[in-house]
Amino acid sequence: MPTEAIALYHDLLTEGLALETSEELYARLKPLGLYFGARPICTVLRPHFYLADQWEYLRSETEILLGAFTRAHEACCSDANLREQLDLEPYEEELFSADIGAAVPWTTSRLDSFFMPSEDRLQFVEYNAETPAGMGYEDILAELFMELEPMKRFLKHYAVQTMPMQGRLLAALMRGYRDWGGQGIPQIAIVDWGYVPTLNEHVIIRAFFERHGVPAVLADPRSLEYRDGVLWADGFRVDLVYKRVLCSELIDEMGLDNPIVQAVRDRAVFMTNSFSAKLLAKKGSLAFMSDEQNAHLFTEVQREAIKLHIPWTRRVTERKTWYRGQEVDLIPFLSENRENFVLKPNDEYGGSGVVLGWEASSELWNETLQTALTTPHVVQERVQPIYRDFPSIIEGKLDLRPRFIDANPYVFYGHTVHGCLTRLSSIALLNVTAGGGSVVPTFLLQKRT
């Protein structure tokens, strides 16, 4: 960690400057759309910093794993027996092949991790392969922090590099559209429910697209109409669906015979991320990667990266498996060792349904285990959390306290890493959707000579 740089930043942040900076920050968040629903995205006064070699380690190790995820995706697409390990819903099994064969399944995705650079300790706990959020928030937040007085003072001592992502996002969408067979500049619909708390970010991204000459609208799926081979959003012809609505919610609300599915099946629109991206968006994808029965699918380098960077993860089912060199009977083993594990529903988000064994009673843990035998869940070994001190204003005073912090690099076109979502929380469940926490911009540092 850049301990010296962090200490300098905190020294520069006097009580008076912190109060002024907090007032300016909160005054500017709302006009910039940096709110998640009714809550401000950022509640602290310092960005998160990486040195160049630390970021390079995170980037290069992530890209090795991405090759393994691609192998897993290809294997599951061609082998129904392997797909069973992902516990697909019937509609997912029906849809996963609807848009395979032209472009990559993921123009953008995100791997969520805990990263301790000083120890090269990197543990990935989730692959957000369906609708990765946060790029617009991070870009605008980075621009805002660069204009705050503490950063201006800090810049006299350190060169700071931001990692803007909206340009990469747009380039990935354009590349996917061309690979799919599209011609010219597509008209884009950013598709999600009109009531989602991330609507502000959709507005940010739409504005970016239009500033760069790409027509775009926000569209609720219920407003779309498919007629005469064209998908329409209130009179706007849609060539490319930038899908931010979750597949599960779309099908639950509108069924399989909805305008998006019809248009995708007829190849009337390019949709990204694809329906097949849902294969690895399941929590079960990390169990698939971690499980010894699938090791033959990966190269030696990928197997080593999986061993190093993916915590031991398994589908919750009656079976025997290996844990740290010892064969165990999974359900009794988990029942007796809850302090070391977390249970996660296979297809939820925002922390919904997650049970931390070290915080749960034995009754709740065993009850959830029994539920997991009939409703798909995975179990994952406990990952050591990362804490860092961050300054904020609490009750009118400068407060410096440790917070949980994660590292969530963005992936473009399935293989290239650029930029990072960094989240903070005062509780172990690091998820802004879950109702708390803060997002901070992520910067690369180099000390000035």
Q: Is 145 left (phi over 0), alpha (psi -120 to 50) or beta?
A: alpha
Which residues, listed in sequence order, are joined to residue 391 by a DSSP beta bridge?
400
Residue 72 pLDDT more than 90?
yes
First to last CA, the chain: 19
The pLDDT score that the predictor gives to residue 1 is 58
- Rounded to an integer, the average pLDDT of 92-104 is 83
Amino acid in position 233:
A
pLDDT in tens, 168-193: 999 999 999 999 999 999 999 999 99
Distant-in-sequence, close-in-space partners of 339: CB < 8 Å, separation ≥ 6: 357, 358, 382
What does the radius of gyration of the chain's CA atoms come to, in whole angstroms? 22
Distant-in-sequence, close-in-space partners of 326: CB < 8 Å, separation ≥ 6: none
Chain CA centroid to CA 425, Å? 16
pLDDT in tens, 113-144: 999 998 889 999 999 999 999 999 999 999 99
CA distance 347 to 238: 29
- Before 273, cis peptide (omega within 30)? yes
Contact by Cβ (8 Å): 126, 290: no
- Rounded to an integer, the average pLDDT of 319-346 is 96
Q: Which CATH architecture has domain 312-381?
A: 2-Layer Sandwich (3.30)
Q: Where are the alpha helices (DSSP H) in 106-222?
A: 135-146, 149-154, 166-180, 199-211
The pLDDT score that the predictor gives to residue 432 is 41
CA distance 333 to 331: 5
- Rounded to an integer, the average pLDDT of 233-253 is 97
For the chain, the domains span: 3-281+386-447, 312-381
Pairing mode of beta strands 341-345, 442-447: unpaired
pLDDT in tens, 280-324: 999 999 999 999 999 999 999 999 999 999 999 999 999 999 999
Which tokens hold the place of 91?
């509609």
CA distance 346 to 371: 12
Which residues, listed in sequence order, are joined to residue 344 by a DSSP beta bridge?
378
Distant-in-sequence, close-in-space partners of 386: CB < 8 Å, separation ≥ 6: 114, 115, 116, 404, 405, 406
* DSSP letter assigned to residue 427: S
pLDDT in tens, 183-238: 999 999 999 999 999 999 999 999 999 999 999 999 999 999 999 999 999 999 99
Residue 86 pLDDT more than 80?
yes
pLDDT more than 70, % of the chain: 97
Q: Whole-number mean pLDDT of the chain?
A: 94
Residue 100 pLDDT more than 80?
no
3-state secondary structure of 380: strand
Residue 164 pLDDT more than 70?
yes
Distant-in-sequence, close-in-space partners of 406: CB < 8 Å, separation ≥ 6: 112, 113, 114, 115, 386, 422, 423, 430
3-state secondary structure of 51: strand
Query: CB 269: neighbour CB atoms within 10 A?
Result: 27
Amino acid in position 333:
F
The size of the chain, in residues, is: 449
For 306-330, give the DSSP string.
Answer: HHHHS--EEE-SS-EEEETTEEEEH
CA distance 145 to 234: 37
- Rounded to an integer, the average pLDDT of 334-338 is 97
pLDDT band (50, 70, 90) for residue 430: very low
